[in-house]
Structures are given as structure tokens and as C-alpha cells.
Structure 1
Amino acid sequence: MNIKRFHAPTAREALAKARMAFGDGTLILSNRPTPNGVEVVATAEESLSALDEPTQVATPPRSAGRLEAATIEERPARNPVHQDTEQLAMSTLSFQDYVRERMLRRRHDALGESDLSDAGRQAQPSEPTPAPRPASAPVQRHNPLKSAPNAAASRVRREPAAAAPATSLAGQKNLMHELQAMKDLIEDRFNTLSWLGQARQNPIQSNLMLKLIRGGYSPALARTILERLPDDLNAAESVRWLMEVLERNLKTDAAMLPLYEQGGTYALVGSTGVGKTTTTAKLAALCARIHGPASVGLITLDTYRVGAHEQLRSYGRMLGIVAHLAHDQAALQDLLGLLSSKKMVLIDTTGVAPRDPRRRDMLDVLDLPEVNRLLVLNAGSHGDTLEDTLVAFKTSGTQQAILTKVDEAVKLGPAVDALIRHQLLLRGVTNGQRVPEDWETADAHALVATSMRSPARSAFDPKASELNFFFSHSPEQPRERGLVDA
């Protein structure tokens, strides 16, 4: 048997030398790396004909141990890689097919198809041992990578390939979702660490942050504002800069006529107990003082609360104004047509909770083109309560609000924070129950200054060392970006 060794710096050059020596029928027996490159052992296909001749001779008896070893060798291996390497020697073309098949298997395993591939391999029947061939017959080598043993095995192999597009698409979606979640988590952690590191390096920024949090402002708004704090300001200048930013972003009607002088049709809406009826009476009294009682019209939609109509009617009698009751939208339209000549028409509505099913019905009654809504907010409410109310009563276009019960609020920070974040136009402030004396125009400077005054220490005030907890798990909300005019 003519077997030769070929040495070359690379495997490609060694294979080329072997093919030059034996032609297209070159068989690669082995290859291994050497200190100088690669060593390839090859022979020609014709040399295998001499190996088939001894198969005609009777096989001498073998011992039990050798027989068991031969049986183990003839048993097909479970690992497809070992099974491929134990087959007959490959030609150069077979070696390329083998590499291509292995790359396809690895790709299927990466896409989660290893189970299907294992099922396909288990369904393939083991190949019988080939019968001895005559010496004169040409050698027919079997390439296990090119054809399947039978139709059933081919069908099993094609099934994973058919299911590959759908499975791979689902796997890619899951992978992209996990990568996006990991990206968001990493960005959140890096932003938090960057902010905390900057706050430690800048004690003025850290003190202002603590002051805002103690005043009732949300961490999201406080962080958005202080990220724009100039570095060249001292402590006093930083406080003035912060108050100017808050005043500039709190929208009021300071450049407009007061609500009771401007006139129009307004419906006061909001949660239960925020002071809608009392505020309606204050606006009616202020308008009647300037333009006379005949210039004011009063309508109430509150048919749920006991005595609600009588309360507004009592205020009307004190002012010389008749209060009307509307049960539905048709009655409201008739009354608005009757009072169309009035300077100001005020509609008192039923107080409903933000998640009350009646809220939608009440807002639908007010869905008229000439009716403007005034959202009444309790200044003493918690920040989350104000947020829930603003989201529930949000309308399209310019949103107007009235801040009530300022005298009862321990901290004005939550109310000012909510007005800034939702960009509401503040039309007035009430600070008591007297009609109409306890009404004030909306003054941004006074509200911000009151909110920044340090109230008495309470158990709800954080310490400087606890600021980390406000940012460790609170990703920045997208709507806060670009909101503050610094």
C-alpha cells in the first residue's frame, strides 16, 4: 500500500501536495500539527482494493475478549462527531461537506434545536455492516454526510429544518427582549451611580436635593432640575437659581385678567371634598361685586350629595343670584341657552373619586364646546393623590386648575410639583372658608417661596444619607426630559 507523508506550513498547502502526488482520488488518512507546520498522511483510492482481498479468507477464531471488543467497535457511536470520524477516510470534497454539516448542527444548537436534532438522530436506524465485496468490484465508499440511510431518516432530518424559521424567529425575539432589558438596567445603574457620585462631589447640589425632597417635590423633578445646575454658583446663588427655575415653570394667569373679570362658562370638577361648591361661591361673589349680581349665572349638577343644591342655593340667595339644577346634558344645554347673556356662568359638579365609574358619565355631560373646565385641587393632598387626580381628569387643550385649602397644607411641594410636571395653568388660590375674602390670585413667587420653607421636622423627612434609596431603583421617566426650562 502506497502511503506518503506530506509536510507544509499550512493544511491547505499539505493537501495540495497530496493531490499532486495521487491525483483526484486522494484519500487523507490523518493530519496533525508539527513544530514546522502541518503533517498530512495520504494515499490513493486504488490502494484500498488490496485491503478487500483478505475479507474472502475465513476469519480465524478470536478470543472472547477480542470478540467483545470488536462488537463494541462495530456498534454505532452515539456522538455524531465520533460516528463521522470512525467511517471510511474522506476525500477532500467529503471533508468540505463534513465541515459544512458540522456548522449547520452548531447553528441549530445555538437556536435551541438540539432536542429536535437528538430526536432525528435517534430515529435513524443503525446501518448494517456491509457484506464482503468481490476483489474485482470497485471500491464504493459511503459518505454518511451526503445521503440519509432511508426515507424515514431523511424525513426526520428535514423536520427540524422546516421548523427552524418559526423557532429561530421566536428565539431572536426573546433574545432581543432580554438584551433590551439588560441595556435598560445597565443604563439605570450607571445613571444612578453617576448622579450619586456627582452629588457627593458637589455638596451644594446634594443639599438642594435634600431640601427639595423634604419640601415634598418628587425625586424625578428634583433630579431633572438639579442636573442643569451651573457649577460656578455658590450656595446662596444656587438657591436663587433653583427658585427662579421653579417660578418660571409654574404657569399662572399673572399676565391675564383675573378669572372673575375675564368671564365665560366654567365647570368646576374634581374629587370629593376639595372645595368646589365654596370656590364656586367665591368666584360668583367676586364677579357680582364688579359686574353686579345680574351678570352671574349658577348651575349645579350635584344630585348625589344630600343638600348639595341647597348649599349652592343658599350662597346664591346671599348674593341675589338664582341657582339652577340640571339633571342631564339636555337640561344643561337649555340652562346655558337661558343664561347666555350672563358675564360669567359657573357650573358646580358632583365630586367623584378618580377611579369612580360615575366620573366618565359626569365628564360626558360637560362635553360641550362652550364649557371650560376648572380642575380643583386640594393643596394638602399627597403627591400620589394629586397625580391620580390629574391623570383621571386630564382633558385635551389648555388645562386650568384652582388650588384650594392652601392654609391646611403642611407642604406645598407636592402641589407645585404636580402643576409643573403636568403644565397646568393655575387660575387662582383659596386659603380659607370665607366667601369671597379667602381668594388670592396665583402668584408663582409666593407659592414657590412657601414650598421651599423648611417645615417642622417629621418622621417622613429623609436624611442626607438616605438619598441613595431615592435613586437606586427609580429609572428616569421619559416625560420629565425637556420639561423644565432651566
Structure 2
Amino acid sequence: MNIQRFHASTSREALAKARMAFGDGTLILSNRPTAQGVEVLATAESLLSALDATAASPPPPPPAPPAPPAPPRPGRPERNPVAQDTEQLAMSTLSFQDYVRERMLRRRHEAALQSPAPAPPATPTPSGQRREPAPTPIPAASGPMPAPAFEPMPASAVAHPNPPGVAQQLHAMQALIEDRLDTLAWLGQARQHPIQSQLMLKLIRAAYSPTLARALLERMPPDLSAAASVRWLLQALAHNLRTDLAAPPLYEQGGIYALLGATGVGKTTTIAKLAALCARSHGADSVGLITMDGYRPGAHEQLRSHGRMLGIVAHLAHDRAALHDLLGLFCGKKLVLIDTPGLPPRDPRKRELTDLRDLPQVNRLLVLNAGCHGDTLDEMLGAYESGAGAGPPQALQAILSKLDEAAKPGPAIDALIRHRVLLRGLTQGQRVPEDWQRADAQQLVSASMRAPAPSAFDPKASELNFFFSPTPAHGVWHH
């Protein structure tokens, strides 16, 4: 059955395109807004009739015992379920109905096995043999399923001695069908557009998330050549990566900044680089250094050592009141930098740092290790985004550190794009202040998409479908 996506500026135009393709019997599977307007996933209404007919028809007799599997032919690889589902895009409406019917019956059979009922006595056949009773069918819900999407059926609509368990099975079945339809549609488009498949593989190998990769490729114009598609992709990534390249650099702009982040990401060294750059242009008296790191033994001595080399005195703030007094003392400084203790996102002491937004004119500057895993960066950004105090909301700013140690900066760029964080600069070494760099989105994205050395973590083209297939452990994957 043909499943298609239709894009338009309004819902009316998208529905009109769907009706032109499928006629009056058009079934809308999903309808969601996009950056360009509206996206509609549609197919023929015969799917709905097929599902209703399948639910109302009695189950087939018990299948005969399966024959022993034939030995695999040498040199012919086994087919995986996702590859088989991809081929279903080209099948007819009747074969797709068989595909859905088989899955529904399998779910019903599993539900019946989980809640067995007392079996009636076996009746003898005319030949004297005993015939086992067929499994009791699960009555289907009355009336057609709601449109346009596969909504969960209420438990009251299922007539069964154990409604809650059966309702959960039906909900899981409907969620599986909805997700598989969407997956088939996406894989079908990728099969028809090999350029998109290659770009998807390139993004995944560069360690970008499937979520961002799919969102980008769904918005890429379909009529671009291979070279134009690559240029469009790089421009889209750079356009969505927010940087301060068009504004004065951070040390020239000035202000009060509290550097936050986990232990070992390079907060103190980054402060020394910013202080040195500001002192070089405006003198040592224009910089104020404060450390709040009283947890690690000798942590404040590291900042004081950097300050002595620059001719700047670093002060220790033991508590919030001392920090407030020091900020009043440094009100005439061009740049005030606050070093904070390194705390993981789940540490309860993090609340003390997120409350810094209550202080006037204090900007939070999150230092992120460019070589961290994407989930670690997501957790860190999410913790400091949600860790708000009583003050007004502030846009989160960040610095990428240790760029020279990152084999693939893709996860860091991906997290910054999805969390809409302003990137203020890069560090890629321990030299003060030489290893500071302005954040150039074009250069950073181009460097992340360069062909890296072969890695054991890189997927193959044949494994790309698994990024968009449901996993047994977590159910269906929603995007």
C-alpha cells in the first residue's frame, strides 16, 4: 500500500494534496506542524476497512505444527525484520492487510496465553480421536476505529474476563502499528532518495543523533543534487548553531560571568585565558577574579596562581553573602569571572550554583567537554536549564572545552543545537591565552563532518534501519 507524506503551508493545502493522491477515500494517519507549515501522513481509507474486517472476522483454525527450518543456504545472509518491513512499502493493499492481520492475531494469541481460561473438555471425533478445543477469540471493540490516527481503545470497549491486561495488549498493538506505518513511510522515502540515505549515514557516523539527523533531512528539498544536498546540510547545521561571532568577543564585551560545569572540564583554565585576553587589551585592573570552589583542597590556589602570573588578585567567596560583597567591590571592573566547584548534574549542591541567577547581572556560562557522550551533554544542559532560581529567566550560554581531545565533536554540536544554547567560544589546549578561539559555526560544522578514521562504533549502511525501528526493551521509538 502506498503511504505518502504531504507538505504544505496550511492544513487545507496538505489535505487537498492527499485527496488528489488517494481520492475521496483518504485516511489521514498523522498531522503535525513543521518549520515550513504542516506535514500530513496519509494513505487510502481501505486500510481502515481492512482493520475493521480483520477485527470482526473469526480467527483462523490453529495452524499445523511448523516444519523444521531449512538449513540456510551458504553465502546468503539472513534477512532482518526491518529490511523485510522496508520491502512491504511496495506491496499491494491486500498483502498489507495480511501483514496487519498476522500481527493482530499474534498479539491476540499472546494475550490469550498470558490469561488462560479453563479449557472445555475435548470432544471425540467420529473416528474416535480426541480433538482439542480452539483458543477462545478475544471479542473486538464495537464500531470503527477513530480517525485520523490510531487512538488507544478504552478498556471498557473490550469484552474479556481480564479487561486491564487485554487493554494494555491492544494499546501496545495499536502503538506498534502506528509506529511501523510511520517507519515504513520514512524508510520508503529513504529508499526512493538514496542521497538522503547517504547523508543520514554520514550524520550518524559523525555522531549526530538520529533525532536531529531525521529532523534535518525531512526538511531538505528533494530535488537537490548530491553536491547541493551536502552544501544544504552543512548550511542548515551552521545556521542552527548559535554563536557570538557577529558580536564582540566575550572578553571585550565584558560583564559578570559564573563558569559552571562538571569536575575536570577546564573551568579554571578557561577563566585564566579570558582574564589574560582582557588584561592584554584593558590592563590587569580591569579584571576581577572570584573563586567559590571550597570543596576541593587547594582548588582556589590554582586560580590564585594564574592570577599572580597576570598581576590579578583572586578572592575566595566562602558563602553567598561574601560573593555579594565582592561583586559590589568589583562594580567598576570590565570583566568579573567567578570560578565555581565542579558538580555533576544530580548533585544536590548544584542548587547553590543555579541560584546565582538571583544575583544581579550574573551570567551563567556553562563549560562543556567537547569529547563527552551526547547523553552526558544532554543531562548537563537539561540540569542547568531547569535549575532556575527565583530571578528572571536567562538564556544559557556555553563554552566548548578540550576540542583538541574530542575525536568527534558532533554530539556537542548536536546538543547545543537542540537546546538552543549560545556558544561563546572554544578552548583546545592548556596554553594561556593562546588556546582560546572564537566560535565559528561554519568551521565547527565542517570539522565535525570530515571523514574520520574507521571506528568500531560506526554503523554500516545495512544497519541504518535499526536507528528507526522499535526496540523490544523500550517499546516503540517516538520522534
> Normalization by structure 2: what TM-score?
0.62
Amino acid at match of 1:470: F
Aligned to 2:116: none
Match of 2:439?
442
Q: 1:333 aligns with which of 315, 318, 324?
A: 324
**Secondary structure of residue in 2 paired with 1:449:** helix
TM-aligned CA distance change 1:443 to 1:237, over 3 Å: same
Larger proportion of helix: 1
Query: How far apart in 1 are the matches of 2:478 and 2:176?
Result: 14
Instruction: Give 1 or 2 for the bigger CA radius of gyration.
Output: 1
Amino acid corresponding to residue 466 of structure 2 in structure 1: F
Which position in structure 2 is the counterpart of 1:241?
232
Partner secondary structure for residue 303 of structure 1: coil
Aligned equivalents of 2:439, 2:253: Cα separation in 1: 15
1:372 maps to 2:363:
yes
Q: Is residue 283 from structure 1 mapped to residue 274 from structure 2 by the alignment?
A: yes
* Secondary structure at the counterpart of residue 394 of structure 1: helix
Mean Cα deviation higher: 389-398 or 174-183: 174-183
Asked if residue 392 in structure 1 is aligned to residue 389 in structure 2, the reply is: no
Letter of the structure 2 residue corresponding to residue 218 of structure 1: S
Q: Name the count of aligned residue pairs.
A: 313
CA distance in 1, matches of 2:453, 2:430: 25
Separation (CA, whole Å) in 2 of partners of 1:437 and 1:453:
25
Aligned to 2:417: 420
Contact 1:380 1:410 in 2 (8 A): yes
**Are the structure 2 counterparts of residues 208 and 341 from structure 1 closer, same or farther at C-alpha, using a change threshold of 3 Å?**
same
User: In the alignment, is the contact (CA less than 8 A) between 1:267 and 1:366 conserved in 2?
Assistant: no
**1:199 matched to which residue of 2?**
190
Cα distance per residue 1:275-324 (max 9 Å; x no partner):
00000111111111111110100000001112211110011011111100
Give the secondary-structure state (helix, strand or coil) at the position aligned to 2:365. strand
Pair 175,329 (structure 1): closer, same or farther in 2 beyond 3 Å = farther
Matches within 5 A, 1:136-151: none
CA RMSD of aligned residues (A): 2.3
1:477/1:221 Cα in 2 relative to 1: closer, same or farther (>3 Å)?
A: farther
State the partner residue of 2:253.
262
Instruction: Give the SS at the match of 2:439.
Output: coil
* 1:186 Cα offset (Å): 2.4
Task: Tell me by how many angstroms 1:385 deviates.
Answer: 1.1
Q: Which of these residues, 323, 348, 360, is aligned with residue 339 of structure 2?
A: 348
Q: Is contact 2:289-2:338 (8 Å) kept?
A: yes
The percent identity for this pair of structures is 68
Report the CA distance between 1:438 and its aligned residue.
0.5
Q: Distance in 2 between matches of 1:186 and 1:409?
A: 40
Aligned to 1:466: 463
Contact 1:270 1:393 in 2 (8 A): no
| Rounded Cα–Cα distance in structure 2 between residues aligned with 1:268 and 1:261 | 17
Q: Hey, what does 1:217 align to over in structure 2?
A: 208
Matched to 1:203, the amino acid is P
2:353 is matched with: 362
Equivalent pair of 1:297/1:346 in contact (CA under 8 Å): yes
Shift of 1:327: 1.0
In the other structure, the counterpart of 1:410 is: 407
Alpha carbons 2:241, 2:416 under 8 Å: kept: yes
**Tell me, what secondary structure is at the counterpart of 2:398?**
strand
DSSP 3-state at the match of 1:467: helix
Q: Deviations over 1:219-276 (max 9, x none)?
A: 0110111112212111111100100100110000012111001110000001111000
Change (3 A) 1:258 1:172: farther
SS in 2 for 1:393: helix
Query: Is contact 1:411-1:451 (8 Å) kept?
Result: yes
Query: Residues 258, 199 of structure 1: CA spacing in aligned structure 2 closer, same or farther, 3 A cutoff?
Result: same
Separation in structure 1 between the aligned mates of residue 477 and residue 413 of structure 2, nearest angstrom: 19
**Structure 1 residues 174 and 342: alpha-carbon distance in aligned structure 2, compared to 1, 3 A threshold:** farther
Report if aligned partners of 1:253, 1:425 keep a CA contact under 8 Å in 2: yes
CA drift of 1:174 comes to 8.8
For the residues of structure 1 that align with 2:361 and 2:437, how far apart are their CA atoms? 26
Deviation (angstroms), 1:375 = 0.5
**Paired residue type of 2:365:** L
Which SS does the other structure have where 1:245 is aligned? helix
Structure 2 match to 1:433: 430
Unaligned 5+ segments in structure 2 are 1-154, 387-392
Q: Distance in 2 between matches of 1:398 and 1:260?
A: 18
Structure 1 residues 186, 218: CA separation in 2 closer, same or farther (over 3 Å shift)? same
Output one character per residue of 1:324-359: Cα deviation in whole Å (capped at 9) or x when no partner: 000111110011011111011000000011122222
> d(CA) in 2 for partners of 1:350 and 1:257?
28
CA distance in 1, matches of 2:319, 2:424: 27
Whole-angstrom distance in 1 between the partners of 2:448 and 2:163: 51
Q: Name the SS for the 2:380 alignment partner.
A: helix
Which residue of 179, 184, 194 corresponds with 2:175? 184
Q: Report deviation, 1:369.
A: 2.6
Aligned partner of residue 358 in structure 2, secondary structure: coil
- For 2:350 and 2:460, locate their aligned partners in 1 and report how far apart those are by CA, in whole Å: 40
Unaligned runs of 5+ in 1: 1-166, 479-486
Determine if contact 1:328/1:365 at 8 Å carries over to the other structure.
no
Cα distance, 1:405 vs structure 2: 0.5
Paired residues of 2:429 and 2:435 also in contact (CA < 8 A): yes
User: How many angstroms does 1:183 deviate by?
Assistant: 4.1
Opposite residue 250 of structure 2, the aligned amino acid is L
What is the CA–CA distance in structure 2 between the aligned matches of 1:260 and 1:452, rounded to whole Å?
30
Q: Quick one: distance in 2 between partners of 1:176 and 1:259?
A: 57
